[in-house]
Amino acid sequence: MLDPITSLLCNFPLAYSLLLSSFTATLTYDTLRFGEFEDFPETSEPVWILGKEYNALTEKDDILSDVTSRLWFTYRKNFPPIGGTGPTSDTGWGCMLRCGQMILGEALMRRHLGRDWRWARGQKQREEYISILNAFIDKKDSYYSIHQIAQMGVGEGKPIGQWYGPNTVAQVLKKLAVFDTWSRLVVHVAMDNTVVIEEIKLLCMPWLDVAGACVESEGVGELNGCLEGACALTEEETPLWKPLVLLIPLRLGLSDINEAYIETLKQCFMLPQSLGVIGGKPNSAHYFIGFVGEELIYLDPHTTQPAVEPSEDGQVLDEMYHCQHPPCRMHICELDPSIAAGFFCRTEDEFDDWCMRIRRLSCNRGGLPMFELVDSQPSHMVSVDALNLTPDFSDSDRLERFFDSEDEEFEILSL
């Protein structure tokens, strides 16, 4: 149950915004300085950052270190023209694309460095970290550059320079991840507010599908040397589990977030598999990484920095990719109801643990579940084959009706 003040603010979010506008107008990333922590609450309430709990009274340095270690992607200027003749800056339109980079960047950090890795200014960085940064450099041949995201978005019905919703950027990231042979991620976008366990396990353990095909072939006497070779996949060729990035686009209300989802949303940040949430306010995207009390903690991409050019040896001037300021905060009732929640599961055990935790949350009477977790595909859902959930870039027009770029076709969740 929400306290009376929070309930009032949820019903009148505009009043809350106006009340704080005079205090927050000057608190931007351009004016704040690292170490100025006065705006962070002196509270005994726990601070949660992507599955880790902190004490604001005794662990401020640890909180700052954790926030600073997240990759911070912002507007850039003076990068090579997108598409050869397109824009050289994403200021004003690229904030959701940058948030998509941040949530995927966090997944890559988990994949290659681990959750407990910490960044420090001036330290010699690991090769894996440098490789991750190079995947986001603003040039056409980087896996997850603004150039790649913007051009792939054209296939989702978004002209270059147009603002994205969280659903669109999730679909684009799913397509781009196919080309990243180093990370070998499975990026799955769960539609219709439903996560299907069987579907995910087939994607992350493709050998299950191959094994099934082998059994069927053996039954009809068609097993031959070639098929045996295809089925006898080594662990190197087909790992037992491909690391999963699960993105779940949701709409948690009409024009404002339904307060019935607030506690559930907060609990998602407490899960060890949490990658955070991309969303924000209308046409102003943020990357939410945690909460304290009734306030969300987020990284804001709305600062324009010069584009970065790697040196000849691939090293990157990385200080501009880490937010060395106190984290921004906003009341949870200000959140636009259109979001995408992200989770990372390196192993099958981690995914099974996530499923157990989600089911436990579903039984909690303190909030309304944001999505449904089911073992197998419900009969009312479109089949996997019909949606073509495996990447096929020639079918973007067929998928458009399912992946509406303006996020207008979400099922509205309400009491």
Annotated catalytic residues are 95, 300, 302
Q: Which residues contact 117 (CB under 8 A, 6 or more apart)?
A: 69, 109, 129
Q: Where is 47: in which H helix or E strand? A: strand 46-49
Start-to-end CA distance of the chain, whole Å, equals 15
Contact 99, 286 (CB under 8 A): yes
User: H-type helices in 178-310, by residue range?
Assistant: 197-204, 206-219, 225-231, 262-269
Tell me the HSE value of 203 on the side-chain side, using a 13 A CA sphere: 27
Question: What's the 3-state SS for 52-121?
Answer: EEEECCCCHHHHHHHHHHCCCCCCEECCCCHHHCCCCECCCCCHHHHHHHHHHHHHHHHHHCCCCCCCCC
What's the CA gap between 11 and 359, in Å, rounded?
Answer: 29
What's the CA gap between 301 and 75, in Å, rounded?
Answer: 6
- Record the tokens describing residue 94, joined without a space: 């690229």
Contact 289, 49 (CB under 8 A): yes
At residue 364, the 3 state secondary structure works out as: coil
User: H-type helices in 113-249, by residue range?
Assistant: 127-134, 146-154, 166-177, 197-204, 206-219, 225-231
What's the CA gap between 331 and 15, in Å, rounded?
Answer: 12
Q: At what angle do helices 95-112 and 166-177 cross, to 10 degrees?
A: 40
